Chain A
């Protein structure tokens, strides 16, 4: 267990509502990532963070925002959920970059109805 907790693990929400997913780490790693996993697409990067208050967009960032006010927490917000955002969301942490291993959370299954 790499000390990553995602919450909630499952959520069903209605179209148009805001949703926030939380990733919490106890490892004090600098780098944190949010991915979504969809059949046929593998894992696609939504947003990432390279330090407190330092974040940037990934390849599928439209409709998502993030915040990192503390090293240990990385929040992903869907401003107004849509059915296309139904997915499994994974948080990952990484101590360094390049050749270092990333550790993944257990995932959050989000359904937008």
Chain B
């Protein structure tokens, strides 16, 4: 079945450091890939997405590239801010059938001033 594996957290960084959160997936065919972010006490919101191989999703300085050959969708940001502290979820959805949204376990990011 479909699954998503994320690096365990927490990831602790100083402000302006470079961020990478690893995500790999298992799926048949060509799923769509997503990163969602959850701020404390809130629901999830979409950060970025990519719908086909080699696509790059980007938003608010975050980027992730859909790598079919390595089945990966790693999240990166060149310079993190304290306000980026949150939990980040990688997710996938098949583009055929019912297309359930499957999530990874989440990675907590803590950014200190």
Contacts and interface: CB of A to CB of B under 8 A. Distances in A.
10 contacts: A42-B106, A48-B98, A92-B44, A92-B101, A98-B99, A99-B32, A99-B51, A102-B101, A104-B45, A106-B43
A37 B42 CA distance: 12
B103 A43 contact: yes
Interface in B32-52: 32, 34, 36, 42-46, 49, 51
Contact of A104 (B44, B51, B99, B104): B44
A41 B105 contact: yes
Contacts of B100: 33, 45, 48, 58
A98 B89 contact: no
Nearest to B8: A40
Given A99-B95, A106-B42, A42 B103 contact: yes
Interface string A91-113: 01010011101111111000000
Interface in A52-76: 56, 58
Contacts of B22: none
Nearest to A94: B101
B93 interface: yes
B98 A97 contact: yes
Contacts of A41: 105
B101 A98 contact: no
Chain A: interface size category:
20 to 34
Nearest to B4: A42
A42 B82 CA distance: 23
Given A40-B105, A43-B89, A92-B101, A101 B94 contact: no
Interface in A16-57: 33, 35, 40-45, 48, 50, 56
Contacts of A42: 6, 89, 103-106
Contacts of B32: 98-99
Nearest to A102: B101
Contacts of A106: 42-43
Contacts of A104: 36, 43-45
3 closest A-B pairs by CB: A97-B99, A104-B43, A98-B95
Contact of A90 (B43, B46, B106): B43
